[in-house]
Structure 1
Amino acid sequence: MTFDAAFFAAMVPAVILMGLSKGGFAGLGLLSLPLMALVVSPVTAAAIMLPLLIAQDVVTVWSYRREFDLRNLATLAPGAFIGVLAGYLLAAQVSDAAVGLAVGAISIGFALRRMLGDGRREPVVTRARWGAGSLWGFVCGFTSMIAHAGGPPFQIYVMPQRLPPAVFVGTGAIFFAAMNLVKVVPYLALGQFSAANLLASAALLPVAVAATFAGVWLVRRVPAERFYVYIYWLLLLVGLKLVFDGLQGLHPFA
């Protein structure tokens, strides 16, 4: 791995996108790893990103430390930790492409249903439930470990509750911060924290932190209704990208 102009040309935008995602514009982060994979392998990209994610988690958790929904965290956490464990144990048997394709298709369907349906009638506001929370928590943990795609399942579960934007972001910040810390153990077991990877993480750390603060600043200035419109569009676009990547992985183009 060479720290040249091409490396930083791909890595810096990727880290900025992840920082904005961590700051509140969920979904943008899924564009980070494909950008990083232009100059390093996907496995190396994920290893470089995890310490940055943890640093960004510190910023978001501190920024939203009083704005989160405890019931959502309680319903999501048990399934999520089981999902991370299942992803670690089944990583060699499960195709990243198949998981991405499934998550992408679900995300597109959910986003279109909400965007098209909400324009005709008042959206039905749901609440956190143990059954649904356990299911979507497991999907979050599993897809985060296998394909780094835990954001869309979280959005599908929490967005219909129409939480205030800061509470929505704060809940996600705490949830994914805990999950990223859990993922450190399997990453260590897989030997992915090499000296070169950690050096790359350290070089990108200032950009990661600054971008996260920028995301927090923007979220607090976007009206609630507009915020959810943006998030639905991001979920739709991310879903399309996951489907494209999944189809490409299952049937590589010539």
Structure 2
Amino acid sequence: MAFDAAFLAATIPAVILMGLAKGGFGGLGLLALPLMSLVMPPVQAAAIMLPLLIAQDVVSVWSFRREFDAWNLATLMPGALVGILAGYLLATMVSDAAVSLVIGLISLGFAIRRLTAGNKPKGPATKATVLGGTIWGAISGFTSMIAHAGGPPFQIYTMPQRLPPPVFVGTGALFFAAVNLAKLPAFIALGEMSSANLAIAAGLLPLAILATFAGIWLVRRIPPERFYTIIYWLLVAIGLKLIVDGSRVIWST
């Protein structure tokens, strides 16, 4: 793959956004893989991103290693493994255009939900349950396998519990560290962990680590909400483009 201007223009911001997300700006990471999918096949983009995510997980897990909710992890992980398997099976059965269409739909759906959520009144705090964790864990595992976008389902399940902020972030860090490791065999089976893709990931690794540390530093000083509106509108635009491009290829075959 040529490291041309389009490749760099999509990949460098994607890696920075994912690093900031790992550092605590959770919603920013939604834009990373759709952005990369504009210049390469989406499964290849996800494969290149996965080693970076695993490296970033080391930083985020270490930073929040003492603050997490074990019961949430126990209820989420079994469903997440099922969701990862479903995402793998989808990737083996459909074309790159169909995967692009799915990523576009996921991106558009999550972006519209966040943009239209508004300031809803808070109800009573909920508790983690086996059924809820299994359902939302499965959705999170599936969207994470397809688009590295497992954050929104995780947030839908855990945010109503009103966990202390460090515990919320730490639980997410441990959960997605486990999810990303679980996705590795699936991408190997897909044949996407090639030497070429790993070489690209290695070249982007220093930037990914620096961006993660920057996110950890910034999240303690800047309200994340300042960034979210712009990011979600960009996600709408990119999601629509992926939907159009994927649909055009599917209908032309």
Please give the range of the TM-score, normalised by the shorter of the 2 chains.
0.7 to 0.9
AA matched with 2:109: A
Q: In structure 2, what is the equivalent of residue 174 of structure 1?
A: 174
Q: Are 1:117 and 2:113 an aligned pair?
A: no
Paired positions, count: 245
Q: Are 1:86 and 2:86 an aligned pair?
A: yes
Q: How big is each residue's C-alpha offset from its partner over 1:79-113, in whole Å with a ceiling of 9 and x where there is no partner?
A: 00111112212334464324652674366447634
1:66 Cα deviation (Å)? Answer: 0.9
Aligned-pair Cα RMSD in Å: 2.9
- How far apart in 2 are the matches of 1:79 and 1:242? 29
Q: How big is each residue's C-alpha offset from its partner over 1:7-31, in whole Å with a ceiling of 9 and x where there is no partner?
A: 3333221110110011111121121
Q: How big is each residue's C-alpha offset from its partner over 1:90-138, in whole Å with a ceiling of 9 and x where there is no partner?
A: 334464324652674366447634x2423xxx44322212111110000
Identity of aligned residues (%): 58
- How far apart in 1 are the matches of 2:234 and 2:173? 19
1:46 Cα deviation (Å)? Answer: 1.4
Q: In structure 2, what is the equivalent of residue 155 of structure 1?
A: 155
- How far apart in 2 are the matches of 1:163 and 1:151? 16
Q: Secondary structure at the match of 1:125?
A: coil
- How far apart in 1 are the matches of 2:237 and 2:62? 31
1:204 Cα deviation (Å)? Answer: 0.8
Q: Secondary structure at the match of 1:27?
A: helix
- In the alignment, is the contact (CA less than 8 A) between 2:34 and 2:147 conserved in 1? no
5+ residue gaps, structure 2, are: none
Q: In structure 2, what is the equivalent of residue 36 of structure 1?
A: 36
Distance 1:2 1:93, change over 3 A: closer
5+ residue gaps, structure 1, are: none
- In the alignment, is the contact (CA less than 8 A) between 1:105 and 1:239 conserved in 2? no
- How far apart in 2 are the matches of 1:36 and 1:78? 29
TM-score, L = length of structure 1: 0.83
- In the alignment, is the contact (CA less than 8 A) between 1:166 and 1:219 conserved in 2? no
AA matched with 1:184: L
- How far apart in 1 are the matches of 2:113 and 2:59? 32
Q: In structure 1, what is the equivalent of residue 240 of structure 2?
A: 244
- How far apart in 2 are the matches of 1:110 and 1:9? 26
- How far apart in 1 are the matches of 2:235 and 2:8? 27
Aligned match of 1:105 in 95, 109, 131? Answer: 109
Q: In structure 2, what is the equivalent of residue 52 of structure 1?
A: 52
- How far apart in 2 are the matches of 1:234 and 1:164? 27
Distance 1:64 1:82, change over 3 A: same
- In the alignment, is the contact (CA less than 8 A) between 1:101 and 1:247 conserved in 2? yes
Q: Are 1:203 and 2:199 an aligned pair?
A: no
AA matched with 1:65: R
- How far apart in 2 are the matches of 1:140 and 1:60? 19
AA matched with 1:56: Q
1:56 Cα deviation (Å)? Answer: 0.4
Q: In structure 2, what is the equivalent of residue 187 of structure 1?
A: 187
Moved more, 24-33 or 89-98: 89-98
- How far apart in 2 are the matches of 1:230 and 1:162? 22
- How far apart in 2 are the matches of 1:138 and 1:100? 19
Q: Secondary structure at the match of 1:2?
A: coil
- How far apart in 2 are the matches of 1:3 and 1:172? 33
1:221 Cα deviation (Å)? Answer: 3.3
- How far apart in 2 are the matches of 1:236 and 1:82? 28
Q: After the TM superposition, which residues 121-140 of structure 1 pair with which residues of structure 2 at under 5 Å, given as runs?
A: 122-140=122-140
Moved more, 82-91 or 183-192: 82-91
- In the alignment, is the contact (CA less than 8 A) between 1:112 and 1:236 conserved in 2? no
